[in-house]
Structure formats: C-alpha cells, structure tokens
C-alpha cells in the first residue's frame, strides 16, 4: 500500500461517525434516487455525517422510485467521461460497471476495517470485483412486505393479516365491500414487478423463484406455477383503484396511511415513509411478510466510480468507511426502514417490523429460502430485467391471459439472453 493510501485509510479509520472533530476532508458527488420523505430523511443522515467529518457533499438526486431514471442518468454521465464519485447502485449492475473498467477500488479501507468479517458473504461477494471491494452496502431491504391500515381492516371486519393468497383475496373482497380500496398501488413497471415477484415467491416458493427469476429456466417460466402466479396478479388488478396508473409508490403508501386503502405490497422503504410521517408500527400501520415462505433480498450500496484527484479519492475512502461504521448503519437504517448490512450491529433500537425482517432473514439463510430481488436489480442483468418489467406491466394493463403471459415472457427472456 502506498503512503497516500495508508494515510487515507488511517484517517478513514480514525474518523468516527457523529459530532466531533473533523479529521479529514474529501469531496463526494453522490448520485441517488432517494427523494421521497423517508428516503430523503435517510440520505440526509449520510450527508450530515459526511459533512460533520469535514467533507464536501454534492447532492445529485434523480427522482424516480426503483432507480430506473437514475441509472439512465448514470450511463450518460459515464459516457461523457464525467462520472459521479459515488452512486447508489446494486447487484449485478456493480459487476457490469466494474467490467467496463470505470470503478475505483476501496479495498484498502475494507481490508483495514475487515469488512469480510462483518458482512454476510452473499453481500460481500456482490460488492467485490476480482476480489476487491468497489462498493459498500448500507442496508438490507426486504421486498416481500405487506403494509396495512389497522383501522381500515377493522372497518372491513378483517381481524388478522392474511398469511395465504386466498386469505389476501378474501380480505381484499371485504375491503371492497366496505368501500375501501383494497390495494394501494402505483402503476409503474418496477412497482408492478415488485408485486409480481412477491406473488411468484408466495405461489411457487423459493426454489421456483430462483429457477424462474434468477436462473431464467425456460420450463419454470412457462410452467403451471408461473401461470398460477399470473392468475393471482390478474386478481389483484381488480383490487386497485382507477387512478393507479403512473402513481409514485410513496403516494400509494400515503393512501394506506390515510385509510383510503387497506394494503400496499412494497419493500420496507415504505416503512420509512410511515415513520417519516410520525406513524407508529402496530398502532398506525401493520407489517407482515407477503404470503409464502422466504425472503426477497434487496440491498442498497454505494459504488465508487473512477474519479481522479486526491480530494475525490479521499472523499470515496472516507465515505466508504463512514457507510460501514456500525453507528451510521444504525442511524441510517432506523430512518430508511431497512436493517443494517453489517451483522454485528445491535438491533435494540429497531421496531418489530425490523426485528421480524432480521429473524426471517436468518431463517431464510438457514432454509435456503433467501432469494435476490429481480425487480430491484439484485438478480439478473438489467436488459433481461427490462423484459420482465415490460411483460408484467403489459399483462397488468391489458386482458392478456396468464397462459399467454407465461409463454411471451419465456420467449422474450430467451431472446434477450
């Protein structure tokens, strides 16, 4: 390790999160898509911590849930030879950029802080290229969550959160009869795909999910199980209101908050919205995993692009160290709705939804039921994910049969590979 790097690692290690002396500086331009109430609050924690350490933070938010607009903006920036210092980016996307030779390594920081010892191996692998860390994870989000308004459920005579899709349908019918929108949903491709993958897990189980949405197995894609998943999705189309098209996910969460809708199916960034609005889990809103067994994993991370200049490089190293500090992982995730990516952070300050997430994560690892999210870019290349999003959205917005959907999907995926 050269002297400059050593000094940087040392300063990154010495600086601790929280108010205190500014040991180091450095500049980062951070491209992200955290613009909703809960998201802005969470990324605000990161900005504040970085600035408290003496760094300069240049904020580059690109609105659009799920990050599709942000990824388009990123490509334009990289092609123009002007990449941001750090980008909210995840899954195989990290490897794709690394292969293009446009990332910087933060392995010196990772090594000196022994990240390997505190990250679940499945996450550590995603953050590395050729054995060196090029990204740092901030959290573990769970995609297969269902959020509900307890007063709305009560008004419709629903006493328990559904644990099977039949129970979900029965509860939705009751809400409808009571004049309450059963499912708050935003008709955007990534949101359609989020609901779809949760249904696939619930109907097919983790092995089927993996075959169909990760390994892209043709038989699984065309199977009766996939057809059954589309049938359930078709049923759910009947549970959304007339104005669902194009709605942002956080507006759908607002509908549940206000009791206009009973349920929302969305990852636990929705909890960040409830919390930012001062809502209390178990009182103002309920959380439960969507029906089925398993855990759909989504993890946000910051990836470090090839920038030059001591100030930018130092910014990357300081940011990497900060992101991985146990204190920051706690503060950030309390706001974001997720749980820490580090396995050694105490969860005492976290709510019951987060504890459930943690417990189910461990059980899913144990039972081989942990699956990476297709909708949230943890599973497959972006181009193939695009085929899923197109087809699922097309299905949701047409009267396509489930059989046709399964066949068309299989054919599109085969063509894209």
33 binds ligand BGC (CB under 6 A): yes
Closest residue to ligand BGC in the complex (CB): 269
Residue 67 or residue 162: which is nearer to ligand BGC going by CB? Answer: 67
Per the rule left: phi > 0, alpha: psi between -120 and 50, beta: everything else, 68 is alpha
290 binds ligand BGC (CB under 6 A): no
66 binds ligand BGC (CB under 6 A): yes
CB of 246 to ligand BGC, least distance (A): 15
CB of 167 to ligand BGC, least distance (A): 27
376 binds ligand BGC (CB under 6 A): yes
Name which position in 29, 39, 231, 273 contacts ligand BGC (CB under 6 A).
39
Q: According to CB under 6 A, which residues from 242 to 281 bind ligand BGC? A: 269
Report whether 15 contacts 318 (CB < 8 A).
yes
188 binds ligand BGC (CB under 6 A): no
The C-alpha atoms of residue 147 and residue 189 are separated, in whole angstroms, by 20
141 binds ligand BGC (CB under 6 A): yes
Retrieve residue 31's tokens.
Answer: 């491209």
Dihedrals phi, psi of 45, to nearest 5 degrees: -65, -40
CB atoms within 10 A of CB 138: 26
DSSP 171-202: HHHHHHHTT-EEE---BSHHHHHHHHHHHHHH
CB atoms within 10 A of CB 160: 10
What ranges make up the beta strands (E) of 51-119?
A: 56-61, 86-88
Residue 210 or residue 376: which is nearer to ligand BGC going by CB? Answer: 376
Name which position in 298, 312, 329, 333 contacts ligand BGC (CB under 6 A).
298
Retrieve residue 156's tokens.
Answer: 């419709």
User: Which one of 65-73, 147-155, 380-388, 394-402 is the stretch in contact with ligand BGC (CB under 6 A)?
Assistant: 65-73
300 binds ligand BGC (CB under 6 A): yes
Question: Helices 224-237 and 382-396, interaxial angle, to 10°?
Answer: 50
User: Which one of 59-67, 100-108, 176-184, 217-225 is the stretch in contact with ligand BGC (CB under 6 A)?
Assistant: 59-67
Name which position in 26, 55, 67, 294 contacts ligand BGC (CB under 6 A).
67
144 binds ligand BGC (CB under 6 A): no
Residue 321 or residue 338: which is nearer to ligand BGC going by CB? Answer: 338
Q: How far is CA 83 from CA 38, 98, 158, 306, in A?
A: 26, 13, 51, 7
Residue 39 or residue 387: which is nearer to ligand BGC going by CB? Answer: 39
3-state secondary structure 36-93: CHHHHHHHHHHHHHHHHCCCEEEEEECCCHHHHHHHHHHHHHHHCCCCCCEEECCCHH
Q: How far is CA 298 from CA 17, 72, 295, in A?
A: 25, 20, 9
Residue 142 or residue 342: which is nearer to ligand BGC going by CB? Answer: 142
CB of 341 to ligand BGC, least distance (A): 12
Q: Interface residues with ligand BGC (CB under 6 A)? A: 33, 39, 65-67, 141, 269, 298, 300, 376
């Amino acid at each position: 390790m050269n002297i400059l790097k050593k000094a940087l690692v040392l300063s990154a290690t010495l600086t601790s999160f929280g108010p205190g002396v500014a040991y180091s500086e450095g500049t980062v331009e951070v491209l992200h898509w955290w613009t909703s109430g809960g998201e802005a609050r969470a990324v605000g924690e990161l900005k504040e911590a970085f600035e408290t350490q003496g760094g300069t933070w240049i904020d580059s938010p690109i609105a659009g849930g799920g990050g599709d607009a942000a990824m388009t903006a990123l490509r334009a920036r990289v092609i123009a030879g002007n990449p941001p210092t750090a980008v909210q980016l995840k899954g195989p996307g990290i490897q794709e950029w690394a292969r293009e030779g446009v990332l910087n390594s933060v392995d010196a920081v990772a090594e000196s802080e022994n990240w390997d010892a505190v990250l679940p191996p499945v996450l550590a692998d995603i953050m590395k290229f050729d054995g060196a860390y090029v990204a740092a994870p901030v959290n573990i989000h769970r995609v297969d969550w269902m959020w509900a308004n307890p007063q709305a459920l009560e008004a419709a005579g629903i006493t328990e959160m559904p644990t099977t899709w039949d129970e979900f349908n029965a509860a939705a019918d009751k809400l409808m009869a009571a004049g309450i929108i059963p499912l708050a949903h935003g008709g955007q491709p990534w949101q359609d795909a989020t609901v779809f993958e949760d249904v696939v897990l619930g109907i097919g189980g983790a092995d089927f999910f993996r075959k169909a949405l990760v390994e892209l197995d043709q038989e699984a894609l065309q199977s009766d199980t996939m057809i059954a998943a589309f049938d359930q999705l078709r049923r759910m189309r009947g549970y959304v209101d007339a104005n669902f098209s194009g709605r942002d996910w956080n507006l759908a969460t607002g509908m549940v908050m206000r009791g206009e809708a009973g349920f929302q199916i969305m990852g636990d960034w929705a909890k960040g919205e409830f919390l930012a609005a001062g809502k209390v889990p178990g009182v103002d809103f309920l959380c439960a995993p969507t029906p089925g067994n398993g855990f759909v994993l989504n993890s946000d991370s910051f990836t470090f692009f090839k920038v030059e200049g001591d100030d930018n490089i130092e910014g990357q190293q300081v940011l990497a160290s900060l992101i991985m500090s146990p204190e920051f992982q706690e503060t950030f995730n309390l706001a974001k709705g997720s749980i820490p990516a580090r396995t050694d952070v105490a969860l005492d300050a976290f709510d019951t939804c987060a504890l459930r997430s943690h417990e189910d994560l461990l059980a899913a690892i144990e039972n081989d039921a942990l699956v990476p999210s297709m909708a949230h870019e943890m599973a497959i290349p972006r181009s193939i994910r695009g085929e899923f999003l197109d087809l699922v959205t097309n299905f949701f917005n047409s009267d396509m049969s489930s059989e046709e959907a399964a066949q068309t999907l299989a054919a599109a995926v085969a063509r894209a590979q």
